[in-house]
Structures are given as structure tokens and as C-alpha cells.
Amino acid sequence: MELKDFFKLHPRVAIAFSGGVDSTYLLYEATRHAEKVRAYFVKSAFQPRFELEEARKLAKMLGVDLTVIEVDVFESPEVLANSPDRCYLCKKVNFSRILEQAKKDGLDVLLDGTNASDDAADRPGMRAMNELSVLSPLRECDLTKEEIRRRSKEAGLPTWDKPAYACLATRIPTNEIITKEKLQNTEAAEGFLFSLGFTDFRVRLNGTTAKIQVPADQFAKIIEKRKEILQELKKYYTAVTLDLEARHE
């Protein structure tokens, strides 16, 4: 099935929009083939502020209305417990809220940007989407991440080479309680590395230590900026380490 055929079957859609490669391409195709489309962004302490800013810019560029739904994760002890099911529990809350608002807006079909490269076994959030009947047209149309990037580049979308970015909660080890301070420290540390020009990296929490993960071609830059990084990140962590296993998408 081609995406245009999918939108013939589902002409009025709501799209869970993060501003990433996949959801941006899906939103772009929806503007071309759907009769009505609205984007929904879930704002919570798990998302850094820059994601909402980028989502707003992209939605405006594509001429799509964006609804921002605020979710207070600190009202959910189950999510904050950070069990292996955290992503499932979080997605269940987020997509339920989107569906609730979308129905008020006259849209009964909710789409997300899961693609054919995504491994269901590695994404517990997919279970929540299945339970809520969220559709994944990129996956249904057998579009891989590589193909979506290629098509995005052809379409002139600025996200075509955007690195993957998971929520801040993923930086905290499973079964370790998520707190506002841990999330804020992560956002501040990663924001600083972004300001230095690093891309596609993570700052993971290991006890009270920050473990930096970057692609191999950025190792030299980490060493070059070592003093600046230590000075800033030790405001939030007792120690800072570099993971010598190169990060890749």
C-alpha cells in the first residue's frame, strides 16, 4: 500500500507529532493526501523545551494546526517508578489524552510515526498503541527509516538528517525512581552539549555520575572541550565519564 492509498481509506486524521524524522514526514504526506489533518504534541517533563519549539516551527512550515496537550507525569507514581513497562504506561496516558482531544475535534483516527525499521520487541510503547487502535501508516506501507530519510530529503524537509531523540526519562536506569531534579539535570547537561555543537548524543545517569555517549567521530571534540564540559556538568553530577562504545542510531 502507498501512503496516498492509506489516506484515501482514512481521510480525516489526528497525528501524534514529535517533530522527529518520522512524524514530520507523516505529517507532510497527510497535508498532501488527507482531507483533514491536525497535529498533537504532548508536553511533559519528559520532553526538553526545544522539542516543542521545533514542533511548532515544523507545523507552521507545513501549514498544519498544532494542539499542545500538557501531561503531568508527576501525577503518575507508576510511570515515575520507571519499571520496564514505563514506556508502555506513559504512552497509554499520552495517546489516551490525544485521542480524547482529537475526538472533540471531530477526528476519530489517530496516527503515529512508527516505521518498518522499528522493532516491536524493543518498543513497549507499541503495545499501548495497539490497545488504543493507533495506526502506523509508515509501518503499514513498509517504509524504513532509511527510505523515510531519503524521501524527506527529496521533499526538502529540514528533518531528513535529524538524529533520533528519545525522551529524557530514558537517561535514567530502569527501576530507578524518576525525579524532577534528575530530568532537569539531564536537560541542562544535554542542552550545554548541544550548545557546543555536539549531535546525536546522550547524557545518561549512572548513580550520581554522568555518562556521555557520542558517535566515534565526536570523541576528539569531547577531549578538546573536556575542561568546559567538566566545569558545566559537575554542577549537576559528582563525576563525568565518556562511554568508549561509540553511539549509533
Of 154, 170, 198, which residue is a domain's last?
154
pLDDT band at residue 248 using 50, 70 and 90 as cut-offs: low
3-state secondary structure of 118: coil
Label residue 122 by pLDDT band (50, 70, 90). low
- Is residue 160 a part of any domain in this protein? no
Asked if residue 103 is part of any domain, the answer here is: yes
In this prediction, residues 45-74 reach a mean pLDDT of 96
pLDDT-based confidence at residue 140 (cuts at 50, 70, 90)? very high
Checking if the pLDDT of 43 tops 90, the result is yes
Local confidence band at 164 (pLDDT 50, 70, 90 cut-offs): confident
Contacts of 143 (CB under 8 A, 6+ apart): 3, 115, 116, 151
138: in domain: yes
Nearest-Å Rg of the Cα atoms of the chain is: 19
Check whether residue 53 and residue 137 sit in a common domain: yes
CB 12 within 8 A of CB 155: no
The average pLDDT across 100-105 equals: 96
Cα distance between residue 106 and residue 101, in whole Å: 9
Average pLDDT over residues 136-147: 95
What are the backbone dihedrals phi and psi of residue 30, each rounded to the nearest 5 degrees, phi first? -65, -35
Q: Quick check: 167 pLDDT over 90?
A: yes
- Residue at which a domain ends, from 139, 154, 169: 154
What's the confidence (pLDDT) of residue 127? 85
CB atoms near residue 223 (< 10 Å): 10
Domains held by the chain: number: 2
Q: What is the pLDDT of residues 209-218, one digit of tens each?
A: 999 999 999 9
pLDDT of residue 125: 74
Query: Is residue 188 included in any domain, yes or no?
Result: yes
From the number of C-beta atoms within 10 Å of its C-beta (0-12, 13-18, 19+), residue 170 rates as: middle
82 and 25 both lie in a single domain = yes
| Dihedral sign (CA 10, 11, 16, 22) | positive
Helices (H), the chain: 3-9, 21-33, 49-62, 77-80, 86-104, 125-131, 137-140, 145-154, 180-195, 219-224, 226-233
Q: Are residues 131 and 206 in the same domain?
A: no
Structure confidence at residue 18 (pLDDT): 95
* pLDDT digit string, tens, across residues 175-229: 999 999 999 999 999 999 999 999 999 999 999 999 999 999 999 999 999 999 9
131: left (phi over 0), alpha (psi -120 to 50) or beta: alpha
Judged on CB neighbours under 10 Å (0-12, 13-18, 19+), 161 is: exposed
- 117 in the same domain as 70: yes
Grid coordinates given for 92 = 497509554
Q: Give 188: exposed, middle or buried? Use CB within 10 Å, 0-12, 13-18, 19+.
A: middle
Domain of 12, in residue numbers:
3-154
CA dihedral 220, 153, 121, 17 (to 10 degrees): 100
In a domain, 166, yes or no: no
Q: State whether 103 and 48 are in the same domain.
A: yes
Residue 172 lies in a domain: no
The CATH number for 50's domain is 3.40.50.620
Same structural domain, 98 and 12: yes
Say whether both 141 and 28 belong to one domain.
yes
Contact 237, 212 (CB under 8 A): no
Kindly tell me the sign of the dihedral angle through the C-alpha atoms of 141, 150, 87, 50: negative
Q: Give the residue-averaged pLDDT of 111-116.
A: 94
Q: Say yes or no: 23 and 90 in one domain.
A: yes
- Provide the pLDDT for residue 249: 52
Phi, psi angle pair for 25, to nearest 5°: -65, -40
Specify the pLDDT at position 120.
Answer: 63
pLDDT band at 147 (very low <50, low <70, confident <90, very high): very high
Judge if 58 and 146 occupy the same domain: yes
Report the C-alpha gap between 62 and 85 in whole angstroms: 34
Q: In this structure, is residue 96 part of a structural domain?
A: yes
pLDDT for res 67: 98
Prediction pTM value: 0.91
Average of per-residue pLDDT values in the chain: 94
What confidence tier does 85 reach under pLDDT thresholds 50, 70, 90? very high
Residues 130 and 84 both lie in one domain: yes
Same domain, 215 and 104: no
Structural domain includes residue 198: yes
* 149 in the same domain as 26: yes
